[in-house]
Amino acid sequence: MPDLIAGLVAAVCCAVAAYLLGPWLLRRIPEPILDEGDTKLLYAELATPRAAVWCAVLAGLAGGLVGWRIGFSGGYVAWVALAIAGAVLGYIDARTRYLPSAIIWPTYGVVSVALVVAAAVTGEWGSLRRAAIAGLIGFGVFYLLWFVLPGGVGFGDVRLSGLLGIALGWLGWGEFVSGLYGGFLLGAVLGIVLTLARVFKRKEMFPFGPFMLAGAVVGVFAGGPLERLYLG
C-alpha cells in the first residue's frame, strides 16, 4: 500500500540534502579528461543557486514518489540516497553531457551498504541477491551497447546502469526490467521530440542519464503491475 508519510519524509529529506549537496559537489568534483577538441561547462561554474533549486526539486519529486510507493520498507534508505545523488547527476548530465564517476562510485557504496543493512534487519537476503544480479546484468547490457555502438551511450551511462539495476533489482525483476528499459523508451521518444524541436542537433549525443533516472522511477511504479500482468 502507498504510504503518504513515507513519501513526505523522503521528499523533504531528499530536497534539503540535494539543495545543500548539489552546489557543494559541483565545486569539488574533478573535471574529466576531454578528447582533443571537446569542450564542456566547468562543474564549478554550475554551482549556483539555480543548480541548488533544480537539484532540490528533482530530488524531492523523485524521493517523494518512490517513498510514497515503497513506504518504510527495506529499500527505503537506499532509494532516498539514490534520489539525492540521482538528482545531482541528472542535472549535471543535462548541462554538461557528463556523468561524473566521483559521484556515481560513492553512491554505489552507499546504496549497497544500505541494502546489506536492510537485508540483515529484515532477513530479505533473496532481495539482496536479486539486487546484486540485476546490477551485474544492467551494467553488462549497457557495457555491451557502449562497446558495440560507440556514441550511442556514454560510459557514464554504463556506470549508472549498474547502480540503477541494484536499486531496482532489490524491489523485483519487474521493476528492474521496466525501470531499466523504460529509460530507453523515454530516451527514444523524448529524444526524437527534442531533436525535432531543435533542442538537440541531429547526430549530436544527448544526455541519456536523465532519461535513465526517470525510467527508474517509472519502473518502481510500473514494475509490479507489469510483472503480475505478464505472469497472469
As given in the structure block, the three cell numbers for residue 99 are 556523468
Q: Which pLDDT does position 7 carry in this prediction?
A: 97
Say if residue 203's pLDDT is above 80: no
Distances (CA, A) of 54 to 35, 85, 90, 156, 187: 29, 13, 10, 21, 20
Q: Which of 9-13, 80-84, 221-225 has the lowest mean pLDDT?
A: 221-225
With a CB cutoff of 8 Å and minimum separation 6, the contacts of 67 are 3, 6, 7, 8, 9, 10, 11, 76, 79, 80
Say if residue 223's pLDDT is above 90: no
As given in the structure block, the three cell numbers for residue 192 are 526524437
Of 5 and 201, the one with more pLDDT:
5
The C-alpha atoms of residue 140 and residue 153 are separated, in whole angstroms, by 13
What average pLDDT does this structure show over 128-145?
Answer: 96
Question: What total number of domains does the chain contain?
Answer: 1
As given in the structure block, the three cell numbers for residue 189 are 521518444
The C-alpha atoms of residue 199 and residue 193 are separated, in whole angstroms, by 9
Closest CA to 18 of 66, 65, 88: 88
Q: Which pLDDT does position 152 carry in this prediction?
A: 72
Q: Tell me, what DSSP letter sits at residue 150?
A: B
Amino acid, res. 194: L
Of 34 and 14, the one with more pLDDT:
14
Question: Mind listing the pLDDT tens digit for each residue in 164-202?
Answer: 999 999 999 999 999 988 887 777 666 666 666 665 555
Dihedral angle, C-alpha 73, 12, 113, 118, nearest 10 °: -20
With a CB cutoff of 8 Å and minimum separation 6, the contacts of 154 are 97, 98, 99, 146, 205, 208
By percentage, how much of the chain surpasses pLDDT 90? 73
DSSP reduced 3-state for 111: helix
- Give residue 223's domain range: 4-231
The C-alpha atoms of residue 173 and residue 90 are separated, in whole angstroms, by 24
